[in-house]
Amino acid sequence: MTPFSLPLWSLLEAASVEQAQAPAIIFARRRLSYAALRQQSLAYAAGLHQLGIQRGDCVAIWMNNSPMWVALVFACARIGAAVMAVNTRFRSAELGDILARSGARLLVYEPRSRTIDYTSVLQAVEPACLRDLRHVVAAGEVADVPREVCGLRVLPAASLSRPDGFAPETGSVNDGCVMFTTSGTTSKPKLVLHVQRSIAAHAQDTARALGYTVPGSVIEVVTPLCGVSGFGMPFAAIAARAPCGLSPAFDESQVIDSIDKDRVTHIHA
């Protein structure tokens, strides 16, 4: 295949073969290798497959930056499902509208952040907007995970990971990969679907154009993965085999500390 006709999953496969133990993601002072990220993605793909998520389905992700965010994108890409990137600033009306129009079958969300109770926001969504939703997975502290939300049983993130499970690699270059919302000037935001081919090609183009491929490069991502500007950076870093630091949300002291300790060479503000 040419570089412009690769499924997204192949970027991680190649990196895990070439530099298995090299750091792929740096998060909370911990380093996740390419091999570990691949195994985590496979475990999530198996969990999604076991819950009935199939090629062409939509999985909504509504949480702050984390390795799980990146692993879930690769997991969905492997089985041919698309990710609906939900803005963490959205509240009940916006969330319900996006879940309804995207036809999301599964929602992975963070029950609570530093200042926001996302479970309460989700509980206030109009029931009609959740007509297609079959599963809710909560990523976060066990104490914050409710048993039920909007009439659906909530699964802890650990139950989604199936290390001994299997999911067939059915995703292809032309399968939907990720949906974003436009800012829009009229009516409701539009949903824009990108296919795996375009995301993989963009990752490789970005890595070359921004110099990620220069030996010793370290990328720090502080913008949200739920937005276009933040989303592409981890995948470009993986395409370049450059470590990628993630911050849950922008915190200037934390970012300065990461720049110093991780010897960051690239940051996008």
List pLDDT tens digits, range 132-189: 999 999 997 766 778 888 889 999 999 999 999 999 899 999 999 999 998 766 678 8
pLDDT, tens digit, 9 for 90 and up, residues 215-241 = 999 999 999 999 998 999 999 999 999
Tell me the residue type at 186.
Answer: T
Q: Where are any strands of DSSP class E within 45-150?
A: 58-62, 82-85, 106-109, 135-138, 148-149
Nearest C-alpha neighbor of 140 from the set 166, 122, 164:
122
pLDDT, tens digit, 9 for 90 and up, residues 241-261 = 999 999 888 888 888 988 899
pTM score, whole prediction? 0.94
List the beta bridge partners of residue 85.
61
User: Given the DSSP bridges, would you call strands 244-246 and 219-221 parallel, antiparallel or unpaired?
Assistant: parallel
| Sheet with strand 266-268: strands edge to edge | 30-33, 23-27, 244-246, 219-221, 266-268
Q: Does residue 240 contact residue 254 with C-beta atoms inside 8 Å?
A: no
| Sheet with strand 148-149: strands edge to edge | 148-149, 152-156, 135-138, 106-109, 58-62, 82-85, 176-181, 191-195
- Report d(CA 203, CA 74) in Å as an integer: 13
Residue 191: pLDDT over 60: yes
Instruction: Locate 155 and state its tokens.
Output: 């699964």
Q: Would you place residue 112 in the very low, low, confident or very high pLDDT band (cuts 50, 70, 90)?
A: confident
pLDDT, tens digit, 9 for 90 and up, residues 18-29 = 999 999 999 988
Q: Does residue 82 contact residue 179 with C-beta atoms inside 8 Å?
A: yes
The string over 96-132, giving b where at least 16 C-beta atoms fall within 10 Å of a residue's C-beta and e elsewhere, is: bbbbbbbebbbbbbbbbeeeeebbebbeebeeebbee
